[in-house]
Copies of this chain bind each other. A is one copy, B any other.
Amino acid sequence: MEETTFAVLGTGGIGRRTLEVSRHKEGLTPVAACDRHGTAIDFDGLDVDELLAATEGNIDSDPGDVATDGGAATADGEGVKQHGEDRGVVASEQARPSDDPIRDVIDRGERIDAVLLALPNYEHDFIPRVADRFLEGGYDGVLVDVLKRSRVIGMLDDREEALEEAGITFVCGAGATPGLLTGAAALAAQSFIEIESVEIRWGVGLESGYEDNRGTVREDIAHLPDYDIETARGLSAAEIEAIVDDHDGVIEFEDMEHADDVLLERAGVCDAEDVTVGGLLDVRSDEKPTTTTVSVTGTTFDGERGTNTFRLDDATSMAANVNGPALGYLRAGVRRNRAGEYGVVGPAELMPRF
């Protein structure tokens, strides 16, 4: 297994769990982790135990803007549980405060095969603007995001030529959905010559992971009928709690704008409009309120209609289903990048490595 070095932008739930999962994978070395407060870099490999312990609970769910202000600490910081004097990643003895943590990573980009963007997407053009910074900075490795919103893919496609010229392989939508479940849909579609529908229905029980995943919950709330990404961004922690209370802790989502649709259309599997994503989020239990299932219905060449299904065991947490695939797609992306394949690639086109 070839050696792969990677950095994590963002030390919230996804970033932290990805670091944790990477310890169980051969040949994967985390060499940098940053949040808006600072940067930890060690090319011998970060001490993940120390970093996770030092930043335990240091989740910053304040929707500031890392892309434009370079990650400088912003005003309120509500949601950052401090651990001593230092905020965020700086609580780790491996980290130093920084005015521009993204620049820190880009400046060392030659030794970093891949960068996982584990940042909540509070603005539609947030991830694309982070990509711009890597483009401007002359990075030529792999960028991986776990973005959700369909409209972001078009913004990345607008940068396709620039990414190709720069030698960047951008793996987009590399979490659970979009991600693992998009890939499962693309695979399940192979039995058919025409796809009628792809239904992705997820269940997440998040009691013990709630603290770590407030950013994800905020993003999910933006999918509710009465909210959008702007209004969700403006919600205080207390307002989010009130919404959770209103739903007795279990929130149902229908017709979510998840990029599975455009990623499947992009791969030629079906029209985006044939894809529906919905789910049930329970923040008061670790039990999943429903079994995460992908159902692909289509017609075979011999005229039969059928539904192939992919099911995740209820025992597999959201974290397991996001972070394993994120690292799998990261490794697959590095392989593509080394082979000289640049531009935007999605989970319906790429088999993640184990």
Once the chains are docked, how many angstroms separate the CA of A236 from the CA of B193? 36
> Is the CB–CB distance between A353 and B268 below 8 Å?
yes
Cβ 8 A contact of A306, one of B306, B316, B341, B350: B316
> Is the CB–CB distance between A25 and B187 below 8 Å?
no
> Is the CB–CB distance between A190 and B267 below 8 Å?
no
> Is the CB–CB distance between B191 and A183 below 8 Å?
no
> Is the CB–CB distance between A193 and B306 below 8 Å?
no
Complex contacts, A187 vs chain B, CB 8 Å = 180, 183-184, 187, 310, 351-352
> Is the CB–CB distance between B268 and A1 below 8 Å?
yes
Cβ 8 A contact of A25, one of B25, B193, B313: B193
> Is the CB–CB distance between A351 and B354 below 8 Å?
no
Given known A301-B21, A302-B320, contact A310–B184 (CB-CB < 8 A): yes
> Is the CB–CB distance between A351 and B353 below 8 Å?
no
The verdict on A324 contacting chain B, using a C-beta distance below 8 Å, is yes
> Is the CB–CB distance between A309 and B306 below 8 Å?
no
The verdict on A285 contacting chain B, using a C-beta distance below 8 Å, is no
Once the chains are docked, how many angstroms separate the CA of A301 from the CA of B315? 12
Proximity string of chain A (296-327) to chain B, C-beta cutoff 8 Å, 1 when within and 0 when not:
00001110111111111111110111011100
> Is the CB–CB distance between A306 and B313 below 8 Å?
yes
Once the chains are docked, how many angstroms separate the CA of A301 from the CA of B348? 25
Proximity string of chain A (234-276) to chain B, C-beta cutoff 8 Å, 1 when within and 0 when not:
0000000000000000000000000000000001110000000
Which residues 321-354 of A sit at the B interface, judged by CB distance below 8 A? 321, 323-325, 328, 339-341, 348-354
> Is the CB–CB distance between B323 and A316 below 8 Å?
no
| Nearest chain B residue, comparing its CB with the CB of A329 | B190
Interface-centre pick from A188, A316, A325 (highest chain B CB count, 10 A): A316
> Is the CB–CB distance between A21 and B193 below 8 Å?
yes
CB proximity of A144 to chain B, nearest CB, Å = 14
CB proximity of A315 to chain B, nearest CB, Å = 4
Cβ 8 A contact of A267, one of B17, B268, B310, B353: B353
CB pairs A–B below 8 angstroms (7 shown): A191-B320, A191-B324, A301-B323, A304-B317, A311-B311, A339-B341, A351-B351
Give A residues with C-beta under 8 Å from B: 1, 17, 20-21, 24-26, 180, 183-184, 186-194, 267-269, 300-302, 304-317, 319-321, 323-325, 328, 339-341, 348-354
7 extra interchain contacts, Cβ-Cβ under 8 A, other than A191-B313, A305-B315, A310-B310? A184-B310, A192-B324, A304-B316, A308-B313, A309-B310, A339-B341, A348-B351
